[in-house]
Amino acid sequence: MKPSRDIARLIEIMAALRTPGTGCPWDLEQDFASVAPYTVEEAYEVADAIARGDKLDLKDELGDLLLQVVFHARMAEEEGAFAFPDVVEAITGKLIRRHPHVFGDARDLSPAEVKALWHRIKAQEKADKAAARAAADLPPQEEERGVLAGVPPSLPALTRAWKLQARASTVGFDWNDARLVLDKIREETQEIDEALADGDKAAIREEIGDLLFVIANLARHVDADPEGCLAAANTKFERRFKSIEAALEMQGRTAADASLEEMEALWQAVKKAEKAADS
């Protein structure tokens, strides 16, 4: 097979990889659950390419993400559930249905009216989906109720904490000042200190979770994405630690050869140099 700009070729390749006897042993042994982590990973790699502004890498990563969609669709087709064209039809139908102000007669709407229309359409979609499941003799989906309903458990933990707290804030369960959240952070660090003193590992893990949860809330109060904040901190740590390694390499040494005190001194020197460069 040769590369192609046609989506049909990608679908053919995926089918060939999943053909018993002549396909790829690794691809053949996969199922939805085993492929799902790769799907999430590829989405993150797309986001990383965007963050780095690397359009060439973005093209490749988008291809990898598209492969995940084709992979899942192929497995569903093998089970007789649906195929790739059904996925395309579902999303195109949804986009057209949810944008009557673009593709229909609902013209010249204000942003508030568009938002209200969006919610009405989603509610109708939910009812239609329930009716379709009943017609297909499928069990009804378990319906979540309450303010926190609909926040996916599969989200990254910091993002989910942000969203749960944002939902709770809609009914007034929230601090009205970011500094009050900071007070709660101090309270949680004190509780970690007490758990450490007791040597209770389960309590330590629980208190660390509480601290991370409140930190996500602080990020929300200042309109910052906690995942983005942590990603930036990771990048900064990598950059500074690599600078330590580079400085030691110039001395003919490695990080394993240096003491903590030496590495800390180099770390502070890197911080000072970065601040000087930024000023």
Mean pLDDT across the stretch 178-206?
Answer: 96
> For position 1, what pLDDT does the model report?
63
Structure tokens at 71: 């992979």
Query: Do residues 267 and 257 share a domain?
Result: yes
Query: Do residues 80 and 13 share a domain?
Result: yes
Query: Do residues 17 and 47 share a domain?
Result: yes
pLDDT classification of 137: cutoffs 50, 70, 90: confident
Query: Do residues 3 and 86 share a domain?
Result: yes
Query: How far apart are alpha carbons 39 and 69 in whole angstroms?
Result: 8
- Spatial contact of 15 and 75, defined as CB atoms under 8 Å apart: no
List pLDDT tens digits, range 19-48: 999 999 999 999 999 999 899 899 989 988
For residue 3, pLDDT beyond 80 = no
Name the residue range of residue 273's domain. 228-278
State the DSSP H helix or E strand holding residue 219, giving kind and residue range, or none if neither.
Answer: helix 201-221
* Residue 148 falls inside a structural domain: no
Task: Tell me the whole-structure pTM to 2 decimals.
Answer: 0.67
- Spatial contact of 223 and 250, defined as CB atoms under 8 Å apart: no
CATH of the domain at 3: 1.10.287.1080
Of 182, 199, 224, the position where a domain reaches its end is 224
Query: Do residues 92 and 1 share a domain?
Result: yes
List pLDDT tens digits, range 227-277: 889 989 999 999 999 999 999 999 999 999 999 999 999 999 999 999 999
Mean pLDDT across the stretch 66-77?
Answer: 98
